[in-house]
Amino acid sequence: MLEQLQVSCQTWRAIEIFEGPQALDQTGYICRFSEPLARQHVDLLYVSTYNTDLILVSEESVERAVTALQSVAMSSHSSSPIPHFSMNEPHPKFALQDDEEMMQGDATDTHVLAKLENELHLVNFSASLVPKFTHALLQLFLFPKDPQTRFFSYTCYGDQVTMILDSTDMESLRPHLDSVTQHDHLWNAIHIQASAEGIDSSVVNFAARVLAQNHIPIYYLSTMNDDFILVPHDSSVAALESLQMITLLNSR
């Protein structure tokens, strides 16, 4: 079975950051934690959940990462200023899929951006309820109604489960809505494809800073190959434009 899996050659350690569901509506929250790690050149994967964020760093970087994050933990990050983006500093290169000018020439270091059209629901429930949801979960995992276009995420950490579902999959969970916590607004996902050189560890911090400066709250999901930024549905166009605009300005 292992030969069919893509396995990272690194061993990863998770750093838990608990802030509660109110962080979902805050701007600059992820930025303030990714910034000190970026300054220390610590590679990371960022996984948001409904109540808790998880920062994955390599085994050899975990002590350096914890030290870098201590300054954030000891300060009131809700009142500290968002680290400002400088046009002179290096940053990942983004382009839209149909942006022929940006994709011309050597685009091996370019991350392609795409806004997924799915309207997404963010829900949370106690892991103790998994047996009660068995039928709905089996349907979601094994028998998706629209597998070609769906966006589905299931994260279990501690005693909590967080799921991201599109409207079609949400129907499978509808009989259990009285047992789950659902966030107030709908979300859209911006897909950041890995460049030919692989995912750049600075992508999380760069994207988080740009969107924080545009007052857009985000929910972040790193994967082994690509990243996904969830933004409120009403802010999705502005989020995509702000990420692309920084790249355009810096390339002139």
What pLDDT band is residue 3 in, cutting at 50, 70 and 90?
low
110: left (phi over 0), alpha (psi -120 to 50) or beta: beta
In a shared domain, residues 176 and 191: no
- Tally the domains of the chain: 2
59 or 250: which leads in pLDDT = 59
Asked if the structure places residue 4 within a domain, the reply is no
Mean pLDDT of 69-89: 61
Say whether pLDDT at 78 is over 70. Answer: no
Amino acid identity for residue 37 in this structure: L
Instruction: Round to whole Å and give the CA distance between 236 and 252.
Output: 25
Residue finishing a domain among 182, 208, 230: 182
DSSP assignment, residue 75?
Answer: S
Q: Which residues are CB-neighbours of 237 under 8 A, at least 6 positions away?
A: 115
In a shared domain, residues 137 and 165: yes
In a shared domain, residues 106 and 230: yes
How much is the mean pLDDT over the chain? 85
Asked if the structure places residue 178 within a domain, the reply is yes
In a shared domain, residues 67 and 128: no
In a shared domain, residues 107 and 41: yes
SS3 77: coil
What pLDDT band is residue 156 in, cutting at 50, 70 and 90?
very high
* CATH code assigned at 169: 3.30.70
pTM, entire model: 0.87
Number of residues assigned to the chain: 252
Asked if the structure places residue 197 within a domain, the reply is yes
215-232 residue pLDDT tens: 999 999 998 889 999 999
Q: Which tokens belong to 211?
A: 């969107």
Mean pLDDT of 126-143: 95
Q: Give me the pLDDT at residue 225, please.
A: 83
Q: Which domain holds residue 19?
A: 10-73+92-115+187-250
Q: Give me the pLDDT at residue 47, please.
A: 95
194-204 residue pLDDT tens: 776 666 678 89
Q: Residues 218, 148: contact at Cβ < 8 Å?
A: no
In a shared domain, residues 150 and 220: no
Residue finishing a domain among 150, 182, 214: 182
Say whether pLDDT at 125 is over 90. Answer: yes
24-72 residue pLDDT tens: 888 888 988 898 898 888 989 999 999 999 999 999 999 999 998 987 7
- Name the burial class of residue 148, with classes exposed (0-12), middle (13-18) and buried (19+) by CB atoms within 10 angstroms of its CB: exposed
Q: Which residues are CB-neighbours of 90 under 8 A, at least 6 positions away?
A: 202
In a shared domain, residues 129 and 237: no
